[in-house]
Structure 1
Amino acid sequence: MTVREMQAQELAMKAIHKESQFILDVRNPSDFEEWKIEGEQLKHLNIPYFDLIDGVEDILDQIPSDQEVLVVCAKEGSSVMVAEMLAEHGRNVAYLKGGMKAWSEHLVPLKVGNLADGGELYQFVRIGKGCLSYMAVSNGEATLFDPTRMTEVYLEFARSINAEIRHVLDTHLHADHISGGRMMAEQTGAAYWLPPKDAAEVVFEYKPLQDREKVRIGSTTISIEALYSPGHTIGSTSFVIDDQYLLTGDILFIDSIGRPDLAGLAEDWVGDLRETLYARYAELSDDLTVLPAHFMIMDELNEDGTVAKKLGDLYRDNHGLNMSDEAEFRTMVTKNLPPQPNSYQEIRQTNMGKMLPDTDKQREMEIGPNRCAVR
């Protein structure tokens, strides 16, 4: 039988639509345990490649014969060889093009909803990393929020809808992935906006986002209002778009809340985090649709693949928003945190412009799951 090449987009749709897929992951067990392809109907078998060099006969009884098997490795090479061996034994088999590297970098653009006078809002789901970025469009002009370093995806999408990117905004100085904000601004001539309290050490020019700042796009003047909301970082800024949507950055997620420790100042910032969640956000309309900068697990995705929920629903269902005991809250967000993101200090330095790693180094720095939330 021949071996089929599966693109990351096809696998992403399987995960989003909860379709079944058997995955043979041939990476080292430690790498597999730390980070793997997630999906409700995805089944995994982890057998390291070095155990299969002499053949796959010993694992054939663990490989289904009645469905396609997808072989996955770090970059592609090992998975191709294992897939070919399985095909020789009559298995229906494919390999993931580009491996986990491609999975980490793939973005799925999805429409979130409509804005005033014909405008539209899109969410870009980086499904393998849990990152979410956004594009608001009005009358041929676009504004980007929290873009990843895969800038060509946004450029191609903007071209496909005949829009010109005029503004790029980051909700905060990211620590788990490399921002594409500055690069997007350089490539398009757009203005690059940052919260000034997060930008004290940056070595490039930017436009400072101030509390209640309004950024308008298109002749319909869709309003994007900055809302100072510290806690994940001291400068964290949320955005209210068109009185419909609340972009929360890494302050509030669908099933959790942001962690305050990635600059080493958890004890200093936990009070700010509580103030944002329990006071600033509480003053906003329950009907606002919350759009976070990350998701943690696939269960947070809606049926259409978007990550979005009404603020009022989160105040009802999100445990992080329902802790009346301030001491208990403080303990939760300072003492019971998951491991910090891989290379997060280097990522922060890169986002400040103090480091200029090449593409391979950037990929290496970002490897692993999203870890921006309190669990």
Structure 2
Amino acid sequence: MSFTAMKSHEVARKVIQKKELFILDVRNESDFADWKIEGENFSYLNVPYFDLIDGVDSILDKLPTDKDILVVCAKEGSSVMVAEMLSEQGLQVFYLEGGMKAWSEHMEPIKVGDLTNGGEMYQFVRLGKGCLSYMVVSNGEAAIIDATRMTGIFTRFAKELGVTIKHVLDTHLHADHISGGRSIAKETGATYWLPPKDAGEVVFDYQALEDGEEVKIGNTTINIHALYSPGHTIGSTSFVVGEKYLLTGDILFIDSIGRPDLAGLAEDWVGDLRETLYHRYRELSNELIVLPAHFMIIEELNEDGTVAEKLGTLFAKNHGLNIEDEAEFRKLVTENLPPQPNAYQEIRQTNMGKITPDEEKQREMEIGPNRCAVR
């Protein structure tokens, strides 16, 4: 039999289409437990590569005969060797091209829907990291929101659509991934917007994104209204796009709420978080479609692969929005925080422009799962 590469975009389609896949992950047990490729209909076997150096006989009876088998490791090398050994035993197997590093960086652009007065909203789903970025398109112009450092996906997509990137915005100063906003703005000549309350220490020029600011994209009827919504960071800003979509950054997710502690100020910012979720957002239309900057679990994906839900539905179903007692809310938020994101202080420093790690270092800084939510 033979073994062949499976690319990240092929795995992504299996995730979105809820296909079956058997993953043999040959990384260390701790790495697998911390972070793996998630799929609703995926099955897993984790056996470290070093346990298989002398042969794969010990795992042959644990592998299925009726599903695609994908061998996964950190960078690709180990999975190629294991896949080759399995093929020599008569199995048809695949290995993940580029390993988990490649999976961490892959993004799937998906159309969310049309804007009321013309234009489209696109969501870029980073399945391996839980990051969500956006492109608003109207009348030949585009705005990109919460871009990742893989800037090529956005510039290429804009070129395919035949639109010019005019604005790049970040809902807040990110701490779990490196923003591509400044790089895209520099490459395209677009304006880079950042909430000034998050930008006190940045060392580059930016356009201040403040409450009530309107950023026009294409037709004048397509506006991005800035809504000051602190809690995850002191400057966190949500966007209402075309009176149809609410981009919540890391304040509100589909199945959870944002964490207020990434600057070490959980006790100070939990009140802001509650004010945003329980008062500012309550004044908005329940019909707005919430588009967050992250998702936590694969079950949050809709049938088409998007992560989106009406605000009214979240007020009814999201536990974090239904804690009437303020003391109970404060206790939930400050006592149910996951571990800090990997290298989050270095990521913040990078997004401030204070340090400029090389590309390989940036990849290493981002490795691992998304940890932006209260559990």
Q: Same fold (TM over 0.5)?
A: yes
Partner of 1:295: 295
**What amino acid is aligned across from residue 310 of structure 2 in structure 1?**
K
**SS of match in other structure, 2:44:** strand
Q: Confirm or deny that 1:104 pairs with 2:104.
A: yes
- In the alignment, the residues of structure 2 paired with residue 21 and residue 182 of structure 1 have an alpha-carbon distance, to the nearest angstrom, of 38
**What amino acid is aligned across from residue 28 of structure 1 in structure 2?**
N
Partner of 2:28: 28
Alpha-carbon distance, 1:220 to partner: 4.5
Q: Confirm or deny that 1:227 pairs with 2:227.
A: yes
Contact 2:20–2:68 (CA under 8 A) maintained in structure 1: no
Contact 1:3–1:92 (CA under 8 A) maintained in structure 2: yes
Q: Deviations over 1:134-155 (max 9, x none)?
A: 0000111000000000000001
Contact 1:27–1:49 (CA under 8 A) maintained in structure 2: yes
Partner of 1:179: 179
Alpha-carbon distance, 1:57 to partner: 1.2
Contact 2:245–2:291 (CA under 8 A) maintained in structure 1: yes
- In the alignment, the residues of structure 2 paired with residue 124 and residue 368 of structure 1 have an alpha-carbon distance, to the nearest angstrom, of 19
- In the alignment, the residues of structure 2 paired with residue 353 and residue 34 of structure 1 have an alpha-carbon distance, to the nearest angstrom, of 29
Q: Deviations over 1:222-262 (max 9, x none)?
A: 11100000000000000000000000000000000000000
- In the alignment, the residues of structure 1 paired with residue 117 and residue 157 of structure 2 have an alpha-carbon distance, to the nearest angstrom, of 21
**SS of match in other structure, 1:374:** coil
**What amino acid is aligned across from residue 123 of structure 1 in structure 2?**
Q
**What amino acid is aligned across from residue 362 of structure 2 in structure 1?**
Q
**SS of match in other structure, 1:11:** helix
Partner of 1:8: 8
Q: CA RMSD in A?
A: 0.8
Alpha-carbon distance, 1:92 to partner: 1.2
Alignment of 1:101-180 (within 5 A): 101-180=101-180
Alpha-carbon distance, 1:68 to partner: 2.2
**What amino acid is aligned across from residue 166 of structure 2 in structure 1?**
R
- In the alignment, the residues of structure 2 paired with residue 221 and residue 346 of structure 1 have an alpha-carbon distance, to the nearest angstrom, of 39
Provide structure 2 residue ranges, at least 5 long, that are not aligned to the other structure.
none
**What amino acid is aligned across from residue 291 of structure 2 in structure 1?**
L
- In the alignment, the residues of structure 1 paired with residue 171 and residue 96 of structure 2 have an alpha-carbon distance, to the nearest angstrom, of 33
Contact 1:133–1:145 (CA under 8 A) maintained in structure 2: yes
Partner of 1:196: 196
Partner of 1:247: 247
Contact 1:250–1:258 (CA under 8 A) maintained in structure 2: yes
Partner of 1:45: 45
Contact 1:140–1:164 (CA under 8 A) maintained in structure 2: yes
**What amino acid is aligned across from residue 230 of structure 1 in structure 2?**
P
- In the alignment, the residues of structure 1 paired with residue 344 and residue 256 of structure 2 have an alpha-carbon distance, to the nearest angstrom, of 20
- In the alignment, the residues of structure 2 paired with residue 16 and residue 104 of structure 1 have an alpha-carbon distance, to the nearest angstrom, of 16
Residues 114-123 or 200-209, more deviating: 114-123
- In the alignment, the residues of structure 2 paired with residue 67 and residue 316 of structure 1 have an alpha-carbon distance, to the nearest angstrom, of 39
Partner of 2:280: 280
- In the alignment, the residues of structure 2 paired with residue 66 and residue 54 of structure 1 have an alpha-carbon distance, to the nearest angstrom, of 26
Partner of 2:265: 265
**What amino acid is aligned across from residue 277 of structure 1 in structure 2?**
L
- In the alignment, the residues of structure 2 paired with residue 67 and residue 121 of structure 1 have an alpha-carbon distance, to the nearest angstrom, of 35
Alpha-carbon distance, 1:64 to partner: 1.6
- In the alignment, the residues of structure 2 paired with residue 196 and residue 119 of structure 1 have an alpha-carbon distance, to the nearest angstrom, of 29
**What amino acid is aligned across from residue 41 of structure 2 in structure 1?**
Q
Partner of 2:75: 75
- In the alignment, the residues of structure 1 paired with residue 8 and residue 200 of structure 2 have an alpha-carbon distance, to the nearest angstrom, of 38
Q: Confirm or deny that 1:362 pairs with 2:362.
A: yes
Contact 2:116–2:244 (CA under 8 A) maintained in structure 1: no
- In the alignment, the residues of structure 1 paired with residue 4 and residue 68 of structure 2 have an alpha-carbon distance, to the nearest angstrom, of 10
- In the alignment, the residues of structure 2 paired with residue 41 and residue 65 of structure 1 have an alpha-carbon distance, to the nearest angstrom, of 16
**SS of match in other structure, 2:328:** helix
**What amino acid is aligned across from residue 332 of structure 2 in structure 1?**
M
- In the alignment, the residues of structure 2 paired with residue 63 and residue 86 of structure 1 have an alpha-carbon distance, to the nearest angstrom, of 10
Alpha-carbon distance, 1:326 to partner: 0.2
**SS of match in other structure, 2:200:** coil
**SS of match in other structure, 2:39:** coil
Runs of 4+ in 1 over 4 A off after TM superposition: none
Partner of 1:336: 336
- In the alignment, the residues of structure 2 paired with residue 332 and residue 174 of structure 1 have an alpha-carbon distance, to the nearest angstrom, of 23
Contact 2:137–2:163 (CA under 8 A) maintained in structure 1: yes
- In the alignment, the residues of structure 2 paired with residue 131 and residue 58 of structure 1 have an alpha-carbon distance, to the nearest angstrom, of 37
Q: Deviations over 1:81-125 (max 9, x none)?
A: 100110011111000111100110000000011014430000000
- In the alignment, the residues of structure 1 paired with residue 66 and residue 108 of structure 2 have an alpha-carbon distance, to the nearest angstrom, of 29
Name the TM-score, length of structure 2 as normaliser. Answer: 0.99
- In the alignment, the residues of structure 2 paired with residue 368 and residue 67 of structure 1 have an alpha-carbon distance, to the nearest angstrom, of 27
Provide structure 1 residue ranges, at least 5 long, that are not aligned to the other structure.
none
- In the alignment, the residues of structure 1 paired with residue 372 and residue 66 of structure 2 have an alpha-carbon distance, to the nearest angstrom, of 39
Q: Deviations over 1:289-343 (max 9, x none)?
A: 0000000000101000000000000000000000000000001111221111011
Alpha-carbon distance, 1:71 to partner: 0.3
Residues 97-106 or 110-119, more deviating: 110-119
Partner of 1:308: 308
Identical residues among aligned pairs (%): 73
Contact 2:117–2:221 (CA under 8 A) maintained in structure 1: no
